[in-house]
A and B are shown apart, each in its own frame.
Chain A
Amino acid sequence: MDDERLLGFGRALVAAQDGVRRDDPTEARARVRERLLARADRDERAPSVPWVVATVVGVAAALVLWIAWPRALTFAIGPEDAPGVAGAWLAAPGTEPQSLHFSDGSVIDLHAGSRARVVHLHRDGAQVVLEAGAAEVAIVPGAASRWRIDAGPYLVDVTGTRFDVAWDPHAEVFALTLHEGAVIVRGPGIDGERAVGAGESLRIGEPPPSTVAVASSPAADPIAPPSVTPIAAPVVDAAPSIAPGPVPAGKPRVPARPRASAPIDDRADWRTLAEAASYREALAAAEAQGFDTLCASLPAKDLLRLADVARFARRPERAASALDAARRRFPDTDAAAMAAFERGRMAFARGAHRDAVPWFTTYLRERPEGSIAREATGRLMESQHEAGQVGAARATAGRYVARWPGGPDADLARRLGAVDPD
């Protein structure tokens, strides 16, 4: 960008800033002027020596306390170590993994196309929500380590360990493969909690929701996101060609995934290409087959998958078509509700919070106890807040805290005025 373009950007930024001004600048300045003159009247310009000494002592004490006080972890994103912010949504690009590096040395590698959020950072660990997709997690062991990974409705409590975890919200399939250490998993289909040890894998899928399997797997098969094979289906590696090789102990594994530029067989089915994370090629294959025909003929689950493919290929209009087809053709089903949620999420992602509200509301009306009701309620609350619907946001926040007082959006809900139930 040359100087003129940057100056144009600056002018537009100023215009946008001035456009959102609601206060009267003259009035605000007049108040500052009053404060300034009142201060001049008090003649506080020369602080006394005892005051200076007390300030120095106070600052020194605060400094010592600050240095000694245990601080919350921080994290950085990607190869450039962009600073991460707790609460912000993170999405790995469709064809690239995304690494999160924490200040204690722990690493979470999000697989291509996965979405997550670091909800809380504290001095002994963090809480991370894996919304969809898969992640390879390497937590540095510590005596007081407190890490939790929320994968959909499943909670994975971690101390020091290395494992792969995946959550497919469409198929409602959770999968975990442990390489080192041990974790505790809680969630639907698990009676109480289940410990998973090194070399074991756990898959929980539908139908039925109670299907749980813990299998010893010394080879520790990698989990291919987001198409985790449900336990009820024939067990076939979703994409054996993209399986990462053996990993040196103690080092986080970097997923070896085919790049978009890899040669693609023209005759390949869009599903196969999607499994290989070649989303643009997959969408091209779907279009070659006839996108509208697919929308009119695919089963509900595949329609949602096709919408994912279009979204990852940065073709939101195609994604919307597939989702609308799912709602039109399969009314009153889980797939229709999920399509509403996805429509809401797409609107949310592009900042159209007002448009997102009715979609999240629709999901919650159709599936008030659905597997992603918590996420939908959180998103609805945030959308209402961003859209300036203050009363509605507060009401949603109240419902959120009442149902999920420890949920990832509970802090936001409380900031919006929700009160904890007695």
Chain B
Amino acid sequence: MPALANDSRTDTLAYLPTADDRAFVERLRAGDRRAIGILFDRHGAAIERVLERVLGRDTEVPDLLHDVFVQAMIGVTRYRGDSASLRPWLLQIAVRTARKCIRRRATRRILGLRTPGELPDAPDAVDPEQQTAVRRAHAALDRLPTDERIAFCLRFVEGMQLDEVADACDTSLATVKRRLVKARVRFERLAARDSLLGRWIEEVAR
């Protein structure tokens, strides 16, 4: 069996490369039930969290998490890396899945259809003003172009480093930097137009 260790950045168990790496990837390619379970146990929580950081707390996230791993099961036949790079590869699939979800929702909005995945009601104890500010923050993020929003969320909400964002988005560092600059300008403009959101950001960003 592969060795396990705590990932210091995400507090999730990460898969460390061992002599069994190739065998593990082969088992995934063969559709081995146990290997798929291990893959999910190692990376499921981290992938779920990235989806939530990009999309917000959302009832659709479990389905999207499922989609990510289904895509992985299908795509693993073409996977050429070792088991140590499985997580970056899964992150790329997660980002593509989130991007598709955002675009699908935009299409549904254009067609006037209801979009699934609304935030659940907050508990009564949550400050209504904060609740409103959070809702508006998500609305502001919703208004960013998809790729800019993903880069912005991975960098500032998930807290990834720039090279990690570039890797997850499967693009160059320069492109990610450009997207972040544009996203920041747009987000600041949106926040400036909304006094409640602006005030909340001022408070929490101190």
Residues of A within 8 A of B (CB): 1, 3-14, 16-17, 19-23, 25, 28-29, 31-33, 35-37, 39-41, 43, 45, 71-72, 74, 82-83, 85-86, 121, 314, 350-354, 388
Contacts and interface: CB of A to CB of B under 8 A. Distances in A.
Interface in B167-181: none
B132 A20 contact: no
Interface string B110-131: 1110000001111110101111
B137 A13 contact: yes
9 contacts: A5-B201, A7-B156, A9-B204, A10-B157, A13-B157, A22-B123, A36-B70, A40-B33, A82-B143
Interface residues of B, number: 55
B205 interface: yes
B134 A13 contact: yes
Given A20-B57, A40-B73, A351 B157 contact: no
Nearest to A387: B128
B120 A10 contact: no
Interface stretch (B13-21, B37-45, B94-102): B37-45
A20 B69 CA distance: 26
Given A7-B156, A10-B157, A45-B31, A31 B57 contact: no
Given A1-B188, A7-B156, 20 more contacts: A3-B156, A6-B205, A9-B137, A10-B156, A10-B158, A12-B200, A12-B204, A14-B53, A16-B131, A17-B57, A17-B134, A20-B120, A20-B131, A29-B44, A35-B66, A36-B40, A36-B70, A72-B112, A351-B131, A388-B124
B48 A9 contact: no
Contacts of B158: 10
A387 B15 CA distance: 45
Nearest to A20: B122
Nearest to B113: A72
Nearest first, the 4 A-B pairs at minimum CB distance are A351-B132, A12-B204, A5-B205, A10-B157
A37 B36 contact: yes
B109 interface: yes
Given A13-B157, A16-B134, A28 B36 contact: no
A12 to B, nearest CB: 3
B52 interface: yes
User: A3, A35, A39, A351 — which one has the most chain B CB atoms within 10 A of its CB?
Assistant: A351
B57 A8 contact: no
A58 B37 CA distance: 33
Interface in B130-183: 130-132, 134, 137, 143, 153, 155-159
B81 to A, nearest CB: 19
Nearest to B200: A12
Contacts of A8: 204-206
B184 interface: yes
A85 B123 CA distance: 26
Contacts of A17: 52, 56-57, 134
A29 B206 CA distance: 34
Contacts of B52: 17
A45 B143 contact: no
Nearest to A415: B114
B2 interface: no
A6 B184 contact: yes
A29 B65 contact: yes
Contact of A33 (B31, B40, B57, B184): B40
B74 interface: yes
B126 A29 contact: no
Contact of B128 (A25, A39, A41, A354): A354
B156 to A, nearest CB: 4
Nearest to B138: A13
Contact of B66 (A6, A25, A32, A43): A32
A36 B36 contact: yes
Nearest to B40: A33
A12 B200 CA distance: 10
Contacts of B74: 45
